[in-house]
Amino acid sequence: GMLQPSTPPPDAVAPNQHYEEQVVVKCPTCGITVGTPENTGVITCGVCHNLIQVPGQDVKAPIAAPIAPIAPVSETMVLVEEVKIENDRNLDDQKVQIHRSAQLTIKFTGPLGMSIKGNKISSVSRGGLADKMGVKARTWHVAAVNGEKVPPNGDIACKMIRSSLSLRGEVDVSFSTSLMMVIFPQGALGMTLKGNRVVDTAQGGMASKAGVKPGCRITYVGHEKAPDNDDVVIAKILEQKQRTGQVTIFYERHRSPTALTEWPSLPG
């Protein structure tokens, strides 16, 4: 007959984790995403050779990774405006969607590195988790904690965050931000980047119609933080367009546009 697996004694060493499906982990040192680990629960980053502890599928311990996934937009967000795009194929559904003061949800697995007064972010510590994730003091507010709306007064936001971290080792904080979120359909975006800053936009192009201006900085492409490197940002944009047929970009508006010079243009 079939052999019955014996139950290990409770104090036995945890067996190696067996991952049924692809597990994707972000390297906390260089931020690169790495694929399936060996069944040891530890994976070596192929880029910087850092050892990354992989959380087991049934392990509740928080992983101390400074980069956390970002959910780009809450389902309930109201579309503020849509810009129709003239398209040579005359598609009716070619719209650019624009959300001003977009909401952004960030998963934290450790000390946040920011102070909250009421629901306003009063300060962000340099080099801390919030800083690495691009959270801005004064202009950002905590809108919800683990999906629960936060009242603007009192210190309820702080208490909810603290209790979630101590109970579950993680917390999802939804911020209402100063960022503009634009969802572009297929086609050329019509903007030129240097690093992650927009230095030029094509007249009548999608970016320009969406209100993107020279001096705006791209802070996130979809779920990922945009580094100050145009090759990486462009690769992220093209990868998302290829995968989903559209691309979601978060912009930080800037008051003083940088000097305009010739830079390589973003491919369509």
**Ranges of each domain in the chain:** 24-54, 81-100+179-268, 103-176
Cα–Cα distance, 129 to 61 (Å, whole number): 18
CATH fold group of domain 103-176:
Pdz3 Domain (2.30.42)
Read off the pTM. Answer: 0.57
Which residues are CB-neighbours of 107 under 8 A, at least 6 positions away? 68, 69, 70, 170, 171, 172
- Mean model confidence pLDDT for the chain: 72
Burial class (CB in 10 A: 0-12, 13-18, 19+), 146: middle
CATH 2.30.42.10 applies to domain 81-100+179-268: yes
Q: What's the pLDDT tens digit per position in 68-107?
A: 334 444 333 333 344 544 444 434 456 888 888 788 888 8
3-state secondary structure of 184: strand
- Range in 88-102, 188-202, 254-268 with the lowest mean pLDDT: 254-268
**Contacts (Cβ under 8 Å, ≥6 apart) of 191:** 198, 200, 201, 202, 205, 207, 208, 212, 266
